[in-house]
Structure 1
Amino acid sequence: MTIEIIVVLSIALIAVILFATEKLRIDAVALLVLTGLAISGLVSPGQALSGFSNGATITVAAMFVLAAGLQNSGALSGIGNLLGRAKSPLQFLIILFVVLAAIAPFVNNTAVVAVFMPIVMAATASIGMSASKALIPLSYVSQMAGVCTLVGTSTNLLVNGMAKDLGHPGFSMFEFTSLGVICLAAGCFYLLTIGRWLLPESRSTELLEHYELGKYITELRVMPESSLIGTSVGEAKLSEEFGVYVLELLRGNRKVWSPRSQTLEEGDVLLARGDWSQLDELRKDAGLEVNAEFKLKQRSFEEVEQVLAEVMIAPRSRVIGSTLGMLDPGWHHDTTSLGIHRRGQVLREELRNVRLQVGDILLLLLPESGMAALRKDSNVIVLSERQPQKSGGWRAPFALATMALVIGISALGWAPISIMSLAGAVAMTLAGCLDAEDVYDAIDWRIIILMAGLLPLGVAMSETGAAQFLVENTIGLVSSLGPLVVLAVLYLMALLLTEFMSNAAAAVLLTPIGMSTAGMMDVDATPFLIAVTFAASTSFATPVGYQTNTMVYGAGGYRFSDFVKVGLPLNLIFWVLGVIFIPVFWPF
């Protein structure tokens, strides 16, 4: 083992630990990897920065813009009506799966889930179906459909880009389709039968009259005319009469000990939890007000032009880590943050000090005129609102036609996918499918930095011999059993890594290993690269293994165990199908 191999493997190990523990943002880890490789001289300056000009990185960035153009133009607005016509939960899921199978192979699956979540939640409410029966399937099927084409997931493009850098000819647009369709069909059948039975029946997050009012925590200030002055929380029996639970009593800048027994005074603030309808009823009956500290502008809840909207903090949101106190001054004009819901936790601190996390759901009050800007905000996903999104007129068919041309011309080989996706993004922007200033917000820059920062790691692992060293001391131990066993082990390694760290990082680590394995065994590298691609692009067993799982985790009211229970069998199904069919379509 050389010094270069030791340094490369040390950098890779540190990156794996940081990815798994989430001590740093994934893009920060990627930049640390890039910097470490460049400073140590393991890659040249040109190689260190090559990820930013790599075709895969450019394509993923452009695809984010194309997905935003489809969403903003209203091209997908008719899907809600289609799902709402379902006569039964089974029919609903079948329609949903067919729609996803048509869209997700060509649009980044994170964007697909962001667009479909409010549509699915509204449609399930309209047919009396539990949203928890549909949101995990939404995440899973978007992943399964994404591996049917080269552009369906960023991981597909990343493996393709790395493979080309390492001497492989790369993959065509529909290279993965044969295996992808088989896995998609098997996965959908599982979710419609056994998986549907395993999914929890939870109505805590369903919509009510087109919008969900779940268990929120808010601050209610005791006003001078309040009927609660002079009584205690226990005496007022708020939980019995209103279904509202007082978690803390804030008086001035301090928490009051034993809040249920304290006599309430003017100016006290109750940190209360309950359905918003119950909280609002208590506010009216007891002479309370939502703590004005969270209001940009005082407004009456009864004003007809006001809209209640639920928004979820998106995985790529810039406000992650910010507090509500920091957020409100820069939030949308005239928007009031009424409450917050965090999956699996009861918050007991002042709301202005709560640091926002991925999946947090905020209840907002804002003018109807502000909904358009809120829908375009990539920091949040609008889960529910009173007013449906309006059609974009001629821009909707234009966006669909542009997307079809990008895919069609690239598939025919007339132009590279990176060039066509850039051209499509420019065309949608010029046509007004999205505003020019929204283009940069549409791109998930953390994914772009992650890809650009990790691509040099694959080069370093290959050139220093680190990949070959790992192969000889891991997969090489079973090489005597033949390429099929090696394929099964490599797929399983990728599967396990992806569940506990970034799927892009898992792909970067295992792609050079797959190439080196093929060289050691003197066989074609394509089957091993396909295994890495499929395993890294489909993560079902944990809510943290893939962004789409994280997105539906809070909105669906799921437990961690729900993903294990439903997703682990699906992972095993994909593993078995991969081991059987990869050698059939891509012989060794």
Structure 2
Amino acid sequence: MTFEQVFLFCLLGVVFAFLVWGRIRYDLVAFAALIIAVIGGVVAPHDAFIGFGHEAVVIIALVLIVSRAMMNAGAVELIARFVLSSGRSLSTHIGFMSVIGAGLSAVINNVAALVMLMTLDIEAAQKAKRPVSRSLMPLSFATILGGMITLIGTPPNIVIAEFRGRALGESFSMFDFSPVGLICAAFGIAFVALVGWRLIPETGPAVIGQSEDAGLFVAEAGVKENSKSIGKTVNTLYPMADEHDVTILGLVRRGKRLPGFSAGEEVRKSDHLVLEGDPKSIEAFIGAAGLDAPGAEEHGGLRGQSLILVEAIVPDNARMVGRTALDLRLLYRRGVTLLGVSRQGKRFRERVRKLVIKPGDVVLLLGPESRVMDAAEWLGVLPLAEKSHTVIQRGKAMFAVGVFAAAVASSVMGFVPLAIALAAAVGIYALFNVVSAREVYESVEWPVIVLLASLIPLGLALEESGGTKLIADQILSLTGALPAWAILTILMIVTMTLSDFLNNVATALIAAPVGLSVAQGLDVSPDPFLMAVAVAASCAFLTPIGHKNNTIIMGPGGYRFGDYWRMGLPLEILIIAVSVPAILFFWPL
């Protein structure tokens, strides 16, 4: 072995050890390794940062922003709102959620799909009074499986596609991953829905949800023109309110609260419903019932700004104390709406904007983030940073879907590269405030970007030094008597095992050139080997550290490190069993 090969093998060995150890952030480990490689002379200084401009890195960042835009516009919610039902059996619920999760993961980033559906799954567990641990892990695994269906569903597919473009002159296209990915997802979802959840121990809290003393707000929502609630009596809205954990306290008409709960009153245009619930529930019900938050029209329209809900405590010396929102002319002066008030669980008959605020109240402010924070400072209230919620811009849902579909279509038809198409979509989303400038940067998982950008030059150096060919020759020497399909299976097993303990992007970067070298050594097509690496790198089901989705559910599900392999091991065996024949059928040797 040459000095460069020895240096890189030792360096990558140390990197992998630190990644498995997990005590130091993986992006810092990768970036430090890149600097050491430059100092050691195995990576040229002018090549040190080429990874930050690599197309795979750019696409991953853009996909994350697009995912945020789709969630902001309510495009995801249009599908997800139908998943909550306490009447379904657990297997049916898991199957239903898994299909939706896999479908969403195919068109947006699988991490974003899980984050969106996880809240709904927890709510469903609350309503059914069952352990959330039984359904969260199947949901996580389903979103991972769904990500394999398209190019943009999961980062390893993007890495493999771009590697093929660089090595063979033509990249995998958007739907080249679909035949094998769909088969893996179908078998995987059937397993987790029918068998897998039964293997999960009932650990952690029985139900995750609000504590009983969580503050409930009394808020108002206006009945806008063409609202689906017009013509219905208030009591016919109760089932929808129950579904969203909201209580309808009454009706305001022509500025006056009607007596009692107004259950039999017919809802009219310009009425206001008085609601009680937590901020996210109130906001979700407003969207589902076709209502408007007071003052929302001030920020409306296609170019309307992204809105947030912020909870803030009212101290003794606040400007708000002893005054009402009407007195303060809050909407006119500051462009912010007082949406609701929480007063130690007490209900009140006064209209929210006419309610005299007292010390200790918690107020719910609605508006653009910059204005809300300025208004909070002017009012003298103390915002709770962990209690802010982005308001879904449901009127932009079809617009967001149309822009995304146009971007994908333009790329598939070869008009523009995928990175350019996604960049144009992000630009349109930002122009029309589907995502704010702040959200554009917040949506990107910068540690993943730094990890990928740092490992790309190391992977290139390993290739150029002959290191990947050396690994491939070693694999061939140990498996020389085996047929090509058996060697492909072994490569999958090794890659899948690495992915369980390393970041899946890092695994794909290292395994892709090895797979190509093995194929060249066998004198067969490299495509089945690259597809095998893509599938194996994505399927990290044995541990909570192999894939971010598994890490996200660990706390809410109350899982322990050793709980994942119970369902994950048979699932990985199943994926290998079905994916190898599928790969060889659609991508012959």
TM-score (norm 2): 0.69
1:96 matched to 2:92: no
Report how far residue 335 of structure 1 moved: 6.9
Gaps of 5+ in 1: 216-303, 311-331, 337-364, 377-381
Cα distance in structure 2, aligned partners of 1:587 and 1:507: 21
Q: Is the 8 A contact 2:204 2:559 kept in 1?
A: no
Aligned to 1:148: 149
Greater relative contact order (Cα 8 A, min sep 6): structure 1 or 2?
1
Residue 139, structure 1, aligned to residue 144, structure 2: no
SS of the residue 2:107 aligns to: coil
Are 2:179 and 1:174 aligned? no
Report the Cα distance in structure 2 between the residues aligned to 1:162 and 1:530, rounded to whole angstroms: 12
Amino acid at match of 1:165: R
CA contact (8 A) 2:311 2:363 kept: no
Please state whether the residue corresponding to 2:541 is helix, strand or coil: coil
Partner of 2:15: 15
Contact 1:409 1:420 in 2 (8 A): yes
Cα-to-partner distance string for 1:143-194 (whole Å, 9 max, x where unaligned): 0000001110111111222333333522111111111111111111111211
Instruction: Please give the alpha-carbon distance, in whole angstroms, between the structure 2 residues aligned to 1:61 and 1:440.
Output: 9
| Matched residue, 1:498 | 499
Following the alignment from structure 2 to structure 1, what is the Cα–Cα distance between the partners of residues 463 and 549?
31
Say if 1:131 and 1:202, in contact at 8 Å, map to a contact too: no
Matches within 5 A, 1:8-407: 8-85=8-85, 87-88=87-88, 89-167=90-168, 169-201=170-202, 204=205, 206-208=207-209, 211=210, 334=312, 367-369=363-365, 391-407=392-408
Q: Is the CA contact (8 Å cut-off) linking 1:50 and 1:456 kept in structure 2?
A: yes
Q: What secondary structure does 1:101 align onto?
A: helix
Q: Contact 1:166 / 1:462 at 8 angstroms: preserved in 2?
A: no
Q: Return the alpha-carbon distance in structure 1 between the equivalents of residues 367 and 129 of structure 2.
A: 26
Count of matched residue positions in the alignment of Structure 1 and Structure 2: 441
CA spacing shift, 1:213–1:106, aligned 2, 3 Å: farther
Q: Following the alignment from structure 1 to structure 2, what is the Cα–Cα distance between the partners of residues 584 and 197?
A: 32
Match of residue 588 from structure 2: 587
* Mapped contact 2:72–2:390 kept (Cα < 8 A): no
CA–CA distance in 1 between the matches of 2:120 and 2:78? 10
Q: Which residue of 2 aligns with 1:528?
A: 529
Measure, in 1, the Cα distance between the counterparts of 2:6 and 2:92. 55
Following TM superposition, by how much is the alpha carbon of 1:74 offset from its aligned partner in structure 2, in angstroms? Answer: 2.2
Q: Look up the match of 2:570.
A: 569
SS in 1 for 2:172: coil
* Aligned partner of residue 76 in structure 1, secondary structure: helix
**Is 1:2 the equivalent of 2:15?**
no
- The one-letter code matched in structure 2 to 1:123 is A
Instruction: Please tell me whether the aligned partners of residues 63 and 108 of structure 2 are also in contact (alpha carbons under 8 angstroms).
Output: yes
Mark the CA change 1:408 to 1:100 in structure 2 (over 3 Å): closer, same or farther: farther
* 8 A Cα contact 2:71 2:392, kept in partner: no
1:471-502 residue CA offsets vs partner (Å, 9 max, x unmatched): 22234310331211210111011111111111
State the distance in 2 between where 1:34 and 1:94 align. Answer: 43
Deviates further, 75-84 or 398-407: 75-84
**Offset, 1:579:** 2.2
- What are the Cα deviations for residues 536-584 of structure 1, in whole angstroms up to 9, with x where unaligned? 1121111111100011111011222321101110011111222222111
Q: State the 1:389 CA deviation.
A: 7.4
Distance 1:29 1:153 in 2: 22
Q: Call closer, same or farther: CA 1:554–1:213 in 2, change over 3 Å.
A: farther
| Distance in 1, Cα, partners of 2:212 & 2:79 | 23
Cα distance in structure 2, aligned partners of 1:199 and 1:582: 30
Q: Give the deviation of 1:54 after TM superposition.
A: 1.1
**Match of residue 548 from structure 1:** 549
CA distance 1:372–1:103, change in 2 (3 Å): farther
Residue 36 of structure 1, CA deviation: 2.6
Change (3 A) 1:207 1:40: closer
User: 1:392: Cα distance to partner?
Assistant: 1.2
CA distance in structure 2 between the partners assigned to 1:212 and 1:71 by the alignment:
26
Distance 1:371 1:200, change over 3 A: farther
**Pairwise CA distance, 1:305:** 9.8
- CA distance in 1 between counterparts of 2:530 and 2:367 reads 44
3-state SS of 1:369 partner? strand
8 Å CA contact retained: 1:305, 1:367? no
| CA distance in 1 between partners of 2:506 and 2:574 (Å) | 23
Kept in 2, the 8 Å contact 1:155–1:533? The answer is yes
What is the alpha-carbon distance in structure 1 between the residues aligned to residue 131 and residue 493 of structure 2? 33
Distance 1:115 1:122, change over 3 A: same
Partner of 1:437, secondary structure, is helix
Residue equivalent to 1:411: 412
Contact kept in structure 2, 1:83 and 1:96, CA below 8 Å: yes
Q: Is the 8 Å Cα contact of residues 139 and 552 (structure 1) preserved in structure 2?
A: yes
2:465 counterpart letter in structure 1: T
Distance 1:203 1:33, change over 3 A: closer
- Whether 2:433 is the aligned partner of 1:432: answer yes
* Cα distance in 1, alignment partners of residues 205 and 196 from structure 2: 20
Query: Contact (CA 8 Å) 1:479, 1:521: kept in 2 or not?
Result: no
Provide the rounded CA distance (Å) in 2 between the counterparts of 1:43 and 1:80: 47
CA distance in structure 1 between the aligned counterparts of 2:193 and 2:429, rounded to whole angstroms: 37
Residue 458 and residue 391 in structure 1: after superposition, are their counterparts in 2 closer, same or farther (change >3 A)? Answer: closer
Secondary structure in structure 2 of the residue aligned to 1:462: helix
For residues 491 and 68 of structure 1, do their structure 2 counterparts lie closer, same or farther at Cα, with a shift above 3 Å needed? same
What residue identity is the alignment partner of 2:580?
Answer: V
What letter matches 2:39 in structure 1? I
CA distance in 1, matches of 2:119, 2:367: 14
Q: Does the CA contact (< 8 Å) of 1:84 and 1:124 recur in 2?
A: no
CA deviation map 1:429-461 (0-9, x unaligned): 111112112211111011111111111122111
Measured at CA, do residues 450 and 2 of structure 1 come closer, stay the same or move farther in structure 2, by a change above 3 Å? same
- Three-state SS of the structure 1 residue aligned to 2:152 is coil
Secondary structure of the corresponding residue to residue 541 of structure 1? coil
SS of equivalent to 1:104: helix
Q: Which residue is 1:516 aligned to?
A: 517
1:203/1:126 CA distance change after superposition, 3 Å = farther
The answer to whether the Cα contact below 8 Å between 1:507 and 1:533 also exists between their aligned partners in 2 is yes
2-structure distance, mates of 1:334, 1:166: 55
Alignment partner of 1:527: what SS?
A: helix
Q: Residues 496-535 of structure 1, C-alpha deviation per residue, up to 9 Å, x if partnerless? A: 1111111111111111111111222221111111111111
The letter of the residue matching 1:574 is I
Partner-residue secondary structure (3-state), 1:162: helix
What is the rounded CA distance, in whole Å, between the counterparts of 1:46 and 1:394 in structure 2? 48
How far has the Cα of 1:79 moved from its partner?
4.2
Partner Cα distance (2:525, 2:78) in 1: 45
Whichever residue aligns with residue 18 of structure 1, its letter is F
Structure 1 length normalisation: TM-score?
A: 0.70
Secondary structure of 1:480's aligned partner: coil
2:294 corresponds in structure 1 to: none
Question: How far did 1:80 drift?
Answer: 4.7
Structure 1 residues 43 and 491: alpha-carbon distance in aligned structure 2, compared to 1, 3 A threshold: same
Structure 1: how far apart are the matches of 2:103 and 2:469?
Answer: 40
For residues 213 and 566 of structure 2, what CA distance do their matches in structure 1 show? 25
Does 1:560 pair with 2:561? yes
Q: Distance in 2 between matches of 1:187 and 1:106?
A: 18
1:202 Cα deviation after fit: 5.3
RMSD: 3.0
Distance 1:504 1:403, change over 3 A: same
Contact kept, 8 Å, 2:519 with 2:525, in 1: the verdict is yes
